[in-house]
Amino acid sequence: TELSRIRNFSIVAHIDHGKSTLADRLIQSTGTVADRDMKEQLLDSMDIERERGITIKANSVRIDYKANDGQDYVLNLIDTPGHVDFAYEVSRSMRAVEGSLLIVDASQGVEAQTLANVYHALDAGHEIVPVLNKIDLPAAEPDRVKAQIEDVIGLDASDAVLISAKSGLGIPDVLEAIVHRLPAPKGDRTAPLKAMLVDSWYDPYLGVVVMVRVMDGVLRKGDRIRMMQTNAVYSVDTLAVLRPQMVAIPELGPGEIGVLTAQIKQVRDTRVGDTITTERKGATEALPGFKPAQPVVFCGLFPVDAADFEDLRDAIEKLALNDASFSYEMETSAALGFGFRCGFLGLLHLEVIRDRLEREYDIDLITTAPSVVYHLYMRDGTVKDLHNPADMPDLTLVDHLEEPRIKATILVPDEYLGDVLKLCQDRRGIQADLSYAGSRAMVVYDLPLNEVVFDFYDRLKSVTKGYASFDYTITGYREDALVKMQVLVNDEPVDALSMMVHRDRAEMRGRAMVEKLKDLIPRHMFKIPIQAAIGGKVIARETLSALRKDVTAKCYGGDATRKRKLLDKQKAGKKKMRQFGKVDIPQEAFISALKMD
Ligand code: GTP
């Protein structure tokens, strides 16, 4: 296709502002998919995405559009993941296109993710067309939101397109705006091939499918290609465009977006952001900006039932085939037995993987507290990464320790501002900025990631009744006084409950933790001391008193079936327990004990 007839774009939006609905409308109104084949939210494929309404994997669709000027255009929409954990993937997808539609819900206005995503688009040098969605809603205030876009983002919104993605109102205007307001791609057909690897996924029938954007040169079916990061060479078996199902095509020229298969064994062999060139007469210089995927949040995953370990291993290996950003290694815990230490791009990523293991593979899991990666500066001059608080070496060997910090942006209605500031302050935050966008405050905080990985987001939602939006980027590492806190139950250390805490907060945390555990651990027939300690020093202690719990006592003798039912229930309850020495600790204690109120 001629460059001047191509438009490549993405849609940037805060969650729920209508990105998927608009994408579906564009696909439908151009006849790309017949009405009868139209399923809701075509671009979100995984169940989990559908259920939670989040788009996890980038995907794309090629749309043919005859514009009002009588010309035929090819529109390539790349769907970007909508969550902070996937910021690098978002930035790569953005580099693959020239423009963006900025969707803002006209009844809600600009949110934290609107900002985060629009910054990615601006970084990538995009032309941006503001689109105000949901103008069918009585609460829509297009003029106010236009002013907000101009104030907060600094984009001219006077020509914003007003639409209702739900009813279809304004969709033709969006298509015309794509053609006339977004630039055509540039590229040199005669130059050596340079194609960016935008995304890849595992398809059970086709193996690894790689999505590419050709920058220069031509990619043909049968070509021998080389991945410039890994230096691996493959030959292109299939070349196709997505409509959104695959339709074979003999070649992709500059500006075009498509997918290829090349007998690549695992998604791990492909690196998002890598440059693909031809094996012979290839490009010598890769496209700029490649970054290897780097897990930032780690946690242990252990089977509740030790007999499920092999199943867990199989499941994790399978998932890893399809997710290059997820890392894992075997871990043994005195408390939990055999399991895996897994690394994730962020908390959502962790949750998605855990859910899939439990749901798709039907494995009951114990998840240990998420931890970040600390840098340990040892007295012998070496520097080590610490992924697991249980591995913290003796303090006398460590000179100092650095932890990752983030820049968090929170948008919140005025009336909840006080609670948000308090929450950030409680989590060792340092306020960096506070400004107003209409009746909403925008707060920027410098926070330690370790205070955020656990339940910050839940707490934020609860103190603001769900009205706050939140986004973050990791800014770097800083030294701080962190120590390892251990928990002892019946005098035995429970390694899965070890955590890194700030020295000044250790006592408060330790106290909260032992109090929680006291409620979470059922009484036994003997007294159980529950302690939090730093090094050898106990900083908090509770004692669970002894009790003989006779569950059948309230059955007034007679009814045998009722009695049996109760006993069965107790047995089932037992299954979700782990034994530590003589003490049974319920599975949920591992997560609940770490939540702070
Ligand atoms: P993520 O995929 O989670 O990022 O969300 P999204 O931005 O793709 O939003 P989605 O398209 O799933 O829309 C969110 C909700 O808003 C859905 O319930 C839609 O039906 C609804 N919605 C989308 N567009 C409109 C609109 O124009 N008017 C109204 N009233 N509702 C809309």
Distance 17 CA to ligand 1 centre (A): 5
Distance 18 CA to ligand 1 centre (A): 3
C-alpha to C-alpha distance for 262 and 265, rounded to whole angstroms: 9
Q: What six digits make up the tokens of 75?
A: 């529109």
Distance 54 CA to ligand 1 centre (A): 11
For residue 13, give the ligand 1 atom closest to its CA: 7
Which residue lies with its CA nearest to atom 14 of ligand 1?
Answer: 16
Residues of each annotated binding site: 16-21, 133-136
| CA Rg value for the chain | 27
Q: What confidence score (pLDDT) does residue 464 get? A: 87
Distance 94 CA to ligand 1 centre (A): 22
Query: In a mutational test of the pocket of ligand 1, which residue from 38, 164, 166 has the highest number of ligand atoms less than 8 Å from its CB?
Result: 166
C-alpha to C-alpha distance for 117 and 9, rounded to whole angstroms: 13
C-alpha to C-alpha distance for 442 and 436, rounded to whole angstroms: 6
Query: In a mutational test of the pocket of ligand 1, which residue from 21, 55, 113, 114 has the highest number of ligand atoms less than 8 Å from its CB?
Result: 21
Alpha helices (runs of H) in 275-398, residue ranges in sequence order:
309-321, 347-359
Distance 247 CA to ligand 1 centre (A): 28
For residue 17, give the ligand 1 atom closest to its CA: 7
C-alpha to C-alpha distance for 123 and 459, rounded to whole angstroms: 31
Distance 297 CA to ligand 1 centre (A): 30
Around ligand 1, the residues with Cβ closer than 6 Å are 13, 15-21, 53-55, 82, 133-134, 136-137, 164-166
Query: In a mutational test of the pocket of ligand 1, which residue from 11, 12, 15, 20 has the highest number of ligand atoms less than 8 Å from its CB?
Result: 20
CA dihedral sign, ordered 48, 51, 54, 58: positive
Q: What six digits make up the tokens of 528?
A: 């159980």
Bridge partners (DSSP) listed for residue 252: 219
Query: In a mutational test of the pocket of ligand 1, which residue from 16, 84, 174 has the highest number of ligand atoms less than 8 Å from its CB?
Result: 16
Q: Digits of tens for pLDDT over the chain (597 positions)?
A: 899 999 999 999 888 899 989 998 998 888 876 665 555 545 544 444 444 333 334 378 999 999 999 999 999 999 877 666 677 778 888 999 999 999 999 999 998 888 878 888 988 899 999 999 999 999 999 999 999 999 888 899 999 999 999 999 999 999 999 999 999 999 999 999 999 999 888 877 888 899 999 999 999 999 999 999 999 999 999 999 988 878 899 999 999 999 999 999 888 889 889 999 999 999 999 998 887 777 888 989 988 888 899 999 999 988 887 777 888 999 888 777 899 999 988 777 888 888 888 888 888 888 887 889 999 999 999 999 998 888 888 888 999 999 999 999 888 888 899 999 999 999 999 999 998 876 788 899 999 998 888 778 778 888 888 778 887 888 899 999 999 999 999 998 888 888 899 999 899 989 988 998 998 888 888 899 999 999 889 999 999 988 765 555 554 555 566 656 655 555 555 555 666 777 888 766 776 676 655
C-alpha to C-alpha distance for 563 and 225, rounded to whole angstroms: 69
Residues of each annotated binding site for GTP: 16-21, 133-136
Task: State pTM to two decimals.
Answer: 0.72
| CA distance to 99, 202, 216, 291, 423, per residue, from 76 (Å) | 11, 22, 17, 25, 43
Sheet containing 238-242: order of strands = 233-235, 224-227, 275-278, 194-203, 207-216, 257-261, 238-242, 246-248
